[in-house]
Amino acid sequence: MKAYLAGSIFYYGDELRNREWAAKIRESFPEMDLYSPIENTDINGREGKKKFGSPADIARADNERLDKSDIFIACIDGDVIPAGTSAEIGKFHEKIARGDNKLLVGICTDNRQCCLTYSEAKDLGGRDIGAQQYSYQNIYVTGLIKEVGYLVTNIDEAIEKIYRWLNGE
């Protein structure tokens, strides 16, 4: 079973999150072959960024793993979903939409999510321009995730969805 862990990889916090999540996934599924782009030091990470990787090199390296993956786990945190992650979600969505037996799980950990923090006071206060306090994720991208997979709020929920999918539930 092959899996791909996607998400922003350019900041220190991204590196910590990706490494923590990769470790949790590997601990939960020891037989799984997990690809995390941040670990591909030929093109990513501090050492990889000292090298030149052409756009075609990067696309080829990531697509080679994406195309072979059975499971795609995407962190969509941030004020804007990372462009590369959005493109990968779209590509993986199409595989499932055309009938491939694959799993797509999106993870949004933003603690401002309306489903977690709704209040009338926030609604009223948020009517003023620039004062809205709920997070926003691109609805097209979240729609792609939800149409063929799951959108969850943490890595443990994602692991549970993977476990259930692997067991035919």
Closest among 9, 3, 6, 54 to 31, alpha carbons compared: 3
Higher pLDDT, 42 or 140: 140
- In this predicted structure, what is the pLDDT of residue 122? 54
116 pLDDT more than 90: no
- In this predicted structure, what is the pLDDT of residue 138? 82
54-83 burial code (b ≥16 CB/10 A, e <16): eeeebeebbeebbeebbbbbbbbbbeebbe
1-49 pLDDT, tens digit per residue, is 999 999 988 788 888 999 999 999 999 999 999 999 888 776 655 565 5
Cα torsion 141, 67, 69, 77: sign: negative
Query: Can you give the CATH number for the domain in which 137 is found?
Result: 3.40.50.450
What distance in Å separates the CA atoms of residue 17 and residue 7, rounded to the nearest whole number?
10
Q: Tell me the residue range of the domain where 16 lies.
A: 2-166
Number of structural domains found in the chain: 1
